Amino acid sequence: MSRLNDHQRCSHAVRVLGLAAIEQARSGHPGVVLGFADVLTVLWREHMRYDVTYPEWPARDRFVLSNGHASALYYAVLHCVGFDLSLDDLRQFRQLGSKTPGHPERDVQLGTDVTTGPLGQGLANAVGIAMAEHYLCHKTKTQKPQSAIQFHTYAAVGDGCLMEGISHEACSLAGRLGLGRLIVCWDDNDISIDGRVEQWAEKSVVGRFQSYGWQVIDGVDGHDPEAINHAITQAKSCQSQPSLICFKTRIGLGTDWEGTAQVHGKPLGEKRFSQYKQSVGWALDDFTLTDDVYGAWRQNVLASQRDAWSALSKQILDPYWADYFASYTDGLSENNHHILPSDWEDQWAAWLQDDSVVSNQPTATRHSSQSCLAALVEQMPSLIGGSADLAESTGVSLPSLGSWDPCGEPSQFIHFGVREFAMFAIANGLATCCGLRPFVSTFLVFSDYGINAVRMAALMNLPVIFIFSHDSVFVGEDGPTHQPIEHLAHLRSIPQLEVWRPADAQETAVAWKSVLERTDGPSCMVLTRQKLMPIDRGELIWQCYHGASRLDAYGSECHGLLIATGSEVNVAVQVQQRLAQEGLLLGVISMLCLERFLGASDAFKKSILTASGFRMIIEAGSSSCWYQLLQGVDGCVCGIDHFGTSGNGEAVYHLHGFSVDELCEKARQLHKQVALI
- Cβ atoms of residues 529 and 475 within 8 Å: yes
- What local confidence, expressed as pLDDT, does residue 334 receive? 53
> Is a pLDDT exceeding 90 seen at residue 8?
yes
d(CA 636, CA 659): 16
Q: The domain that contains 38 carries what CATH number?
A: 3.40.50.970
Q: Give the DSSP letter of residue 68.
A: G
- Mean pLDDT is lowest, of 352-356, 486-490, 541-545, for 352-356
Same domain, 288 and 195: yes
Same domain, 353 and 487: yes
d(CA 590, CA 577): 15
Q: Is residue 314 part of a domain?
A: no
For residues 489-513, average pLDDT = 97
Angle (nearest 5°) at CA 531 between 528 and 537: 95
Q: Give the DSSP letter of residue 314.
A: T
Is 420 designated active site?
Answer: yes
Q: How many CB atoms lie within 10 A of CB 179?
A: 27
For residue 246, what pLDDT band results from cuts at 50, 70 and 90?
very high
Averaged pLDDT score across all residues of the chain: 94
For residues 618-633, average pLDDT = 96
- Cβ atoms of residues 325 and 58 within 8 Å: yes
Q: How many CB atoms lie within 10 A of CB 409?
A: 11
* Phi and psi angles of residue 644, each rounded to the nearest 5 degrees, phi first: -80, -160
* Phi and psi angles of residue 318, each rounded to the nearest 5 degrees, phi first: -70, 120
Higher pLDDT, 325 or 553: 553
d(CA 48, CA 41): 10
Burial per residue of 320-350, b for 16 or more beta-carbon CB atoms within 10 angstroms, e otherwise:
bbbebbeebeeeeebbebbbbbeeeeeebee
Beta pairing, strands 363-364 & 531-532: antiparallel
3-state secondary structure of 85: coil
3-state secondary structure of 87: helix
Same domain, 565 and 497: no
- Cβ atoms of residues 221 and 161 within 8 Å: no
Same domain, 273 and 158: yes
106 Cβ neighbours under 8 A, 6+ residues apart: 112, 113, 114, 115, 432, 460, 461, 462
Beta pairing, strands 153-157 & 62-65: parallel
3-state secondary structure of 217: strand
Q: Is residue 539 part of a domain?
A: no
d(CA 218, CA 203): 14
**Exactly one of 23, 56, 133, 420 is catalytic; which is it?**
420
d(CA 13, CA 547): 53
For residues 546-568, average pLDDT = 95
> Is a pLDDT exceeding 50 seen at residue 173?
yes
- What local confidence, expressed as pLDDT, does residue 677 receive? 65
Same domain, 205 and 71: yes
- What local confidence, expressed as pLDDT, does residue 307 receive? 78
- Cβ atoms of residues 70 and 156 within 8 Å: yes
Nearest Cα to 250, choosing from 29, 8, 36? 36
d(CA 332, CA 320): 18
> Is a pLDDT exceeding 60 seen at residue 332?
no
d(CA 549, CA 198): 59
Q: Is residue 321 part of a domain?
A: no
- What local confidence, expressed as pLDDT, does residue 400 receive? 85
Q: How many CB atoms lie within 10 A of CB 203?
A: 8
Nearest Cα to 44, choosing from 326, 232, 174? 232
- What local confidence, expressed as pLDDT, does residue 303 receive? 58
Same domain, 156 and 233: yes
- Cβ atoms of residues 551 and 537 within 8 Å: yes
For residue 299, what pLDDT band results from cuts at 50, 70 and 90?
confident
Same domain, 359 and 399: yes
- Mean pLDDT is lowest, of 130-139, 250-259, 393-402, 525-534, for 393-402
Higher pLDDT, 408 or 585: 585
For residues 21-27, average pLDDT = 98
Q: The domain that contains 598 carries what CATH number?
A: 3.40.50.920
**Phi/psi-derived region of residue 538, left when phi > 0, alpha when psi is between -120 and 50, beta in every other case:** left
For residues 613-629, average pLDDT = 97
d(CA 380, CA 428): 19
* Phi and psi angles of residue 305, each rounded to the nearest 5 degrees, phi first: -70, -10
3-state secondary structure of 381: coil
Final residue before a domain boundary, out of 510, 532, 554: 532
Task: Tell me the per-residue pLDDT of 405-458, one tens digit each, with 9 for 90 and over.
Answer: 998 889 999 999 999 999 999 999 999 999 999 999 999 999 999 999 999 999
Angle (nearest 5°) at CA 636 between 507 and 623: 65
Sign of CA dihedral 658, 660, 666, 671: positive
- The letter for the amino acid at 202 is E
> Is a pLDDT exceeding 70 seen at residue 391?
yes
- Cβ atoms of residues 385 and 442 within 8 Å: no
Same domain, 26 and 148: yes
For residues 102-106, average pLDDT = 98
Domain residues for the domain of 617 are: 546-676
d(CA 359, CA 299): 60
d(CA 672, CA 666): 10
Sign of CA dihedral 537, 543, 546, 549: negative
Q: Is residue 157 part of a domain?
A: yes
- Mean pLDDT is lowest, of 142-156, 282-296, 589-603, for 142-156
Distances 582 to 98, 616, 634, 657, 673 between C-alpha atoms, Å:
63, 18, 21, 21, 17
Same domain, 553 and 512: no
d(CA 86, CA 365): 51
Q: Is residue 197 part of a domain?
A: yes
Final residue before a domain boundary, out of 498, 532, 566: 532
Same domain, 276 and 358: no
Domain tally for the chain?
3
Final residue before a domain boundary, out of 259, 276, 297: 297
d(CA 662, CA 426): 44
Same domain, 265 and 356: no
Q: Is residue 180 part of a domain?
A: yes
> Is a pLDDT exceeding 70 seen at residue 501?
yes
For residues 36-54, average pLDDT = 95
Q: Is residue 329 part of a domain?
A: no
Same domain, 571 and 652: yes
Q: Is residue 171 part of a domain?
A: yes
- Cβ atoms of residues 440 and 388 within 8 Å: yes
For residues 507-521, average pLDDT = 96
- Cβ atoms of residues 156 and 36 within 8 Å: yes
